[in-house]
């Protein structure tokens, strides 16, 4: 049933044959394959196990459950499988299983969710086991054909050899027989020091089509008979539609429908996006007035400010008696910081395509969470999940935004009103800018006490502001507390523990939740928590009359210190810099990894900032692809520095004021510092790399600015500050 | 019927002449390599060449480019299946992450190198104003310098 394709959707160069595995029933997709419900094998090849398919021509298809959105997880996970499989890397392609297939096979591919830098760190073990099990089965199949013991056979690059008789067989020749064998009962994984494919700076698998225009993203999808919709949701979040005057636009040429979507949104369906967009712009819509219509950035700030001194707060980390220690300290230092709302701004605006009939519902969408997209599809369509299918398209950026399913739900609700017609919903950039789940807003008051030797004897960190979990995953709150709020401040654990030994410590959170929907944004709460802690650490060092690095060295635990030392050594911290250049440092633990950065900046007499270089060290335990980690580190800095320089979503009359890049600026190449990445993997654990380093960029730069100008900046973005020397 | 020349091929197009070239390319002709990112000529994802000049197609109405204008999109850069030197440098440097902005980046870089075959870092800063949210700028710069040596 692959006949429903069209000339455009038919790929010129397929990266994987559609539905390579007969056993799984089809629907696999990666790259720009455009699959359809019920599609079945074009070229049946045996599935050795859920992770590995080997074709008769020795091509190896590795299944990837996590979503590729630029972070390189497709390549990294494939390296891990290929390493254990001992296949020929040049013959590797990949494909996505669909969420419905995962459901049907009792979640054999486990978690599809792609966020929290967890692709490699949480699935490395079972995908490696998948590769190792497949290798074992392939070798046993060859041994059986030769009537020899498997132990007498060796394998290299997908060729099995029986040395004693000098016989050879390729994986493709024994794949069919191997597929019929039982999986091994015990699987021994390689020691990472023996890796040949994993751990190497291999090129990404998915580059070529991105250079020629062939790569199909969700927004590029074209299906026969497809119409395009665009949508306008309530400017004030959650406000219901009172009325809209469809008659004003439905006779415009090319307009096919004007529909209400849920309680709060209206969409126009048309032959093309441009037609839909123009009709929607001309459509009069009235929304209800709500209490939220009076909310502004100023009212939100007032609420947060009140929380800084509120009596009640959730305690995230506590040691000794911080308040008493500060009261008895020789010197008391206090500062208030703030961090505004941020928008993800994926380059590809939100989109999803849905085809609804009373019997089934199919969705094609870029998503970081295929299983959540499937659940949203089932819920919005009213059909059981088994009758729904979600085909994951390559994401034009994710950064946390596409872990949510609001746009998927909308697409299904629209398609449901025009059964049998595939409808592609595309958000305008303006809709996207004003309907995100924003990086939340917080303020932070820090109070530190120094003894007469300049040692930090007491520290109170009071965070006031918005919780993400209370909105997104309230079931994950712990007695009302949002543990994610304390990223980088946690008392212990492998995720985001606090690195300083402070004898008397209190980190607490006064939760204040404005109506603006919050969400996970690359690095999440490590972003502002690193600014708060690491900038204040420099303020404490200055008050103690000590160098910021030496001040930290007295308190940092070994793994945190090692990474900071590695960054400082590589950057030449403490050595002479060009005239007018200054270093600033920062460190944090996040997503299971230890990271540190040294920023080198200068500020001209006119107050113009130049970030010359950031040297960044990462200890992520094991390195799967150093070249891709370097790209993630540099990329994370662009994201973090954009927030530092320009990022601020403001609220007026309950709605977001920014509408596009002309009012929400982005860092370009001319502001890009040179980024030098230092990898110091210490082994024994698996940390993430997509997010952790983002957090150190802003505080390292702010600390360098303070040295350069004497000005301590405590609120973002920098565009609001005059950096002329104090 | 207005004729539009894209990648050397003439297309007869009947849509509203006010329609931006971006949407004619994507929705009418079916060339989706040119991307929608902002619609207000800020991000550069929709960059194409119009008579050799890098232009943001979201702000160019169809009426301005019919007739003798020659439009080249990212799909038209390779000749007879051989990648352009900029595409080759992009491949060698493993530039793209999500890749969505890269069509526009590449079109801007090709135009820059035509204008300045050996661009300095300052030339790159001035010409490459495209937005990349994955943050590939360091790789983009390296790839442009590599292409300049080719």
* All domains in chain A, ordered by first residue: 47-210 (3.30.365.10), 218-289+350-426 (3.30.365.10), 297-342+438-720 (3.30.365.10)
ipTM, 2 decimals?
Answer: 0.98
A-to-B residue pairs, Cβ atoms closer than 8 angstroms? 178
The sign one gets for the Cα dihedral B12, B15, B18, B21 is negative
Rounded to 5°, the CA angle A117-A123-A127 comes to 140
Q: Report pLDDT for A493.
A: 95
Hey, are the CB atoms on B136 and A639 less than 8 Å from each other? no
Q: What is the model's pLDDT at position A11?
A: 33
Percent of chain A with pLDDT over 90: 93
CA distances A666 to A465, A640, A641, A696, A705, Å, are: 25, 11, 9, 19, 20
pLDDT for position A19: 27
The mean pLDDT of A320-329, rounded to a whole number, is 98
Lowest mean pLDDT among A40-44, A100-104, A631-635, B105-109: A40-44
Closest B-chain CA to A642: B133
CB within 8 Å: B136 and A635: yes
* pLDDT given for residue A44 in this prediction: 60
* pLDDT tens string B93-110: 999 999 999 999 999 999
Check residue B2 and give its pLDDT.
Answer: 85
Q: Please answer yes or no on whether B132 and A638 come within 8 Å at the CB atom.
A: yes
The superfamily CATH assigns to domain B3-75 is Beta-grasp domain (3.10.20.30)
Contacts of A228 (CB under 8 A, 6+ apart): A269, A270, A271, A272, A273, A275, A276, A423, A424, A425, A426, B27
Nearest to A429 among B37, B132, B134 (CB): B37
In angstroms, rounded to a whole number, what is the distance separating the alpha carbons of residues A623 and A198? 8
- Closest approach of B22 to chain A, Cα-based (Å): 10
Mean pLDDT of A443-467: 98
- Residue-wise pLDDT for A467-498, tens only, equals 999 999 999 999 999 999 999 999 999 999 99
Report helix angle A626-645 to A694-709, nearest 10.
Answer: 50
Average pLDDT taken over every residue of chain A: 94
Which positions 37-56 of B are in contact with A (Cβ < 8 Å)?
37-40, 42-43, 45
Quote the minimal CA–CA distance from B68 to chain A in Å. 24
Rounded Cα gap, residues A5 and A9, in angstroms: 6
With an 8 Å Cβ cutoff, are A211 and B83 in contact?
A: yes
Q: What is the per-residue pLDDT for A688?
A: 97
- DSSP-based three-state secondary structure for A205: coil
Q: Is the predicted pLDDT of residue A12 greater than 50, yes or no?
A: no
**What 3-state DSSP class applies to A285?**
strand
Q: Which CATH number fits domain B85-149: 3.40.120.10, 1.10.150.120, 1.10.30.50, 3.90.700.10?
A: 1.10.150.120
Of B39, B96, B101, the CB nearest to A429: B39
As a whole number of angstroms, the distance between CA A116 and CA A690 comes to: 8
The DSSP H or E segment spanning A211 is helix A208-212
φ/ψ of residue A603, rounded to 5: -130, 120
Say if residues A52 and A45 touch (Cβ distance below 8 Å).
no
The rounded distance, in Å, linking the Cα atoms of A186 and A426 is: 49
Residue A599 CA to its chain's centroid (Å): 24
The string of pLDDT tens digits covering residues B30-77 is 999 999 999 999 999 999 999 999 999 999 999 999 999 999 999 999
* Total number of residues shown for chain A: 726
pLDDT of A10 reads 33
| pLDDT confidence tier of residue A267, bands split at 50, 70 and 90 | very high
Specify the pLDDT at position A42.
Answer: 39
Distance between CA atoms of residues A459 and A503, nearest Å: 9
A377-395 average pLDDT score: 97
A331 pLDDT higher than 90 = yes
pLDDT beyond 90 at A690: yes
Confidence category of residue A45, pLDDT binned at 50, 70, 90: confident
Domain(s) labelled CATH 1.10.150.120 in chain B stretch across: 85-149
With contacts defined as CB-CB under 8 Å, which chain A residues touch B45?
A: 347
d(CA B4, CA B63): 10
- Mean pLDDT on A257-271: 98
Report the alpha-carbon distance of residue A4 to residue A34 in Å, rounded: 10
Q: Is B127 on the interface with A (CB under 8 A)?
A: no
Asked if B139 and A212 come within 8 Å (Cβ–Cβ), the reply is: no
What confidence score (pLDDT) does residue A725 get?
77
Grade residue A29 by pLDDT with cuts at 50, 70 and 90.
very low
Query: Is A5's pLDDT higher than 60?
Result: no
pLDDT of residue A399 exceeding 60, the answer is yes
The span from the first CA to the last CA of chain A, in angstroms, equals 71
For residue B148, the distance in angstroms to the closest alpha carbon of chain A comes to 17
Question: Which residues in chain B are closer than 8 Å to A346, comparing Cβ atoms?
Answer: 98, 100, 133
Looking at residue A232, what DSSP letter applies?
A: E
For residue A699, is pLDDT > 80? Answer: yes
* pLDDT attached to residue A34: 53
Task: Give the residue range(s) of CATH 3.10.20.30 domains in chain B.
Answer: 3-75
- In this prediction, residue A24 carries a pLDDT of 34
Nearest by Cα to A100 from A43, A40, A27: A27
**Who's near A39: CB < 8 A, 6+ residues apart?**
A1, A2, A18, A19, A26, A27
Strand partners, A168: A161
Q: Is residue A436 within 8 Å of residue A483, measured between CB atoms? A: no
Q: What is the pLDDT of residue A6?
A: 35
Q: Span A126-141, mean pLDDT?
A: 98
Q: Measure in Å the smallest separation between the Cα of A126 and chain B Cα atoms.
A: 25
pLDDT of residue A626: 98
For residue B106, the distance in angstroms to the closest alpha carbon of chain A comes to: 8
């Amino acid at each position: 049933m692959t006949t429903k394709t069209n000339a455009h959707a038919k790929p010129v160069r397929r990266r994987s044959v559609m539905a390579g595995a007969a056993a799984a029933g089809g629907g696999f997709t990666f790259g720009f394959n455009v699959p359809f419900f019920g599609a079945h094998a074009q070229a049946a090849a045996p599935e050795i196990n859920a992770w590995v398919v080997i074709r008769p021509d020795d091509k190896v298809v590795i299944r990837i459950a996590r979503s590729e959105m630029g972070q390189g997880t497709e390549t990294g996970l494939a390296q891990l499988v290929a390493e254990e499989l001992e296949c020929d890397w040049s013959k590797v392609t990949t494909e996505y299983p669909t969420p419905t297939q995962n459901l049907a096979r009792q979640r054999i591919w486990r978690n599809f969710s792609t966020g929290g830098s967890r692709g490699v760190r949480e699935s490395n073990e079972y995908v490696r086991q998948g590769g190792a099990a497949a290798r074992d089965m392939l070798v046993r199949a060859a041994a059986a054909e030769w009537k020899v013991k498997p132990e007498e056979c060796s394998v290299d690059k997908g060729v099995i050899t029986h040395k004693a008789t000098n016989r050879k067989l390729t994986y493709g020749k024994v794949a069919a027989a191997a597929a019929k064998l039982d999986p091994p009962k015990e699987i021994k994984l390689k020691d990472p020091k023996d890796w040949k494919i994993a751990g190497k700076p291999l090129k990404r698998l998915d580059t070529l089509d991105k250079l020629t225009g062939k790569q199909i993203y969700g927004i590029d999808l074209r299906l026969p008979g497809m119409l395009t919709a665009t949508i306008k949701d309530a400017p004030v979040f959650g406000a219901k539609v009172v009325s809209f005057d469809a008659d004003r636009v439905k006779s415009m040429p090319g307009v096919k429908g004007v529909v209400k979507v849920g309680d709060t949104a209206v969409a126009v369906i048309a032959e093309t996006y441009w037609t839909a967009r123009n009709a929607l712009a001309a459509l009069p819509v009235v929304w209800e007035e709500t209490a939220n219509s009076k909310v502004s950035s100023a009212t939100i700030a007032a609420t947060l400010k009140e929380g800084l001194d509120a009596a009640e707060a959730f305690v995230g980390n506590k040691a000794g008696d911080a308040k008493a220690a500060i009261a008895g300290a020789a010197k008391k230092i206090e500062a208030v910081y703030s961090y505004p709302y941020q928008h993800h701004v994926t380059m590809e605006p939100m989109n999803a395509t849905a085809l609804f009939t009373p019997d089934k519902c199919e969705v094609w969408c870029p998503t970081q969470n295929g299983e959540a997209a499937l659940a949203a599809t089932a819920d919005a369509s009213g059909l059981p999940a088994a009758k729904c299918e979600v085909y994951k398209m390559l994401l034009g950026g994710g950064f946390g935004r596409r872990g949510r399913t609001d746009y998927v739900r909308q697409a299904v609700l629209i398609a449901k009103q025009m059964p049998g017609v595939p409808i592609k919903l595309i958000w305008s950039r303006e809709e996207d800018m004003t309907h995100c789940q924003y990086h939340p807003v917080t303020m932070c008051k820090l109070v530190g006490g120094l003894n007469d030797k300049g040692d930090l004897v007491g520290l109170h960190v009071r965070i006031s502001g918005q919780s993400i979990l209370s909105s997104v995953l309230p079931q994950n709150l712990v007695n009302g507390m949002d543990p994610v709020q304390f990223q980088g401040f946690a008392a212990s654990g492998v995720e985001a523990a606090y690195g300083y030994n402070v004898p008397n410590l209190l980190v607490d959170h006064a939760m204040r939740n404005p109506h603006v929907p919050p969400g996970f944004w690359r690095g999440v709460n490590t972003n502002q928590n690193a600014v708060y802690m690491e900038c204040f650490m420099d303020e404490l060092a200055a008050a103690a009359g000590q160098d910021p690095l030496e001040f930290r060295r007295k308190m940092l635990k070994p793994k945190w210190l090692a990474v900071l030392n590695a960054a400082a050594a590589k950057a030449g911290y403490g050595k002479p810099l060009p005239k007018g250049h200054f270093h600033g440092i920062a460190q944090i633990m996040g997503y299971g990894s230890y990271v540190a950065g040294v920023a080198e900046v200068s500020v001209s007499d006119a107050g113009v900032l130049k970030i010359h270089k950031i040297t960044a060290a990462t200890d992520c335990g094991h390195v799967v692809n150093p070249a891709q980690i370097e790209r993630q580190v540099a990329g994370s800095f662009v994201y973090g520095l954009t927030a530092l320089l320009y990022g601020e979503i403001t609220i007026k009359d309950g709605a977001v004021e920014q509408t596009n890049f002309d009012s929400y600026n982005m860092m370009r190449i001319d502001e890009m510092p040179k980024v030098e990445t230092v990898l110091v993997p210490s082994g024994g654990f698996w940390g993430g790399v997509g997010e952790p380093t983002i957090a150190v960029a802003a505080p390292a730069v702010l600390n360098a600015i303070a040295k350069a100008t004497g000005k301590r900046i405590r609120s973002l973005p920098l565009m609001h500050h005059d950096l002329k020397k104090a | 019927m207005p004729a539009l020349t894209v990648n050397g091929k003439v297309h007869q197009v009947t849509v509203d002449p006010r329609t931006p070239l971006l949407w004619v390319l994507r929705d009418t002709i079916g060339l989706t390599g040119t991307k929608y990112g902002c619609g207000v000529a800020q991000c550069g994802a929709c960059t194409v060449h119009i008579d050799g000049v890098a232009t943001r197609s979201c702000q160019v109405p169809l009426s301005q480019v019919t007739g003798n204008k020659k439009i080249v999109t990212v799909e038209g850069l390779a000749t007879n299946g051989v990648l352009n030197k900029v595409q080759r440098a992009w491949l060698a440097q493993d530039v793209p992450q999500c890749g969505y902005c890269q069509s526009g980046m590449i079109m801007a870089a090709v135009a820059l190198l035509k204008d300045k075959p050996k661009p300095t870092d300052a030339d790159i800063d001035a010409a490459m104003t495209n937005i990349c949210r994955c943050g590939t700028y360091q790789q983009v710069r390296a790839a442009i310098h590599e292409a300049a040596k080719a």
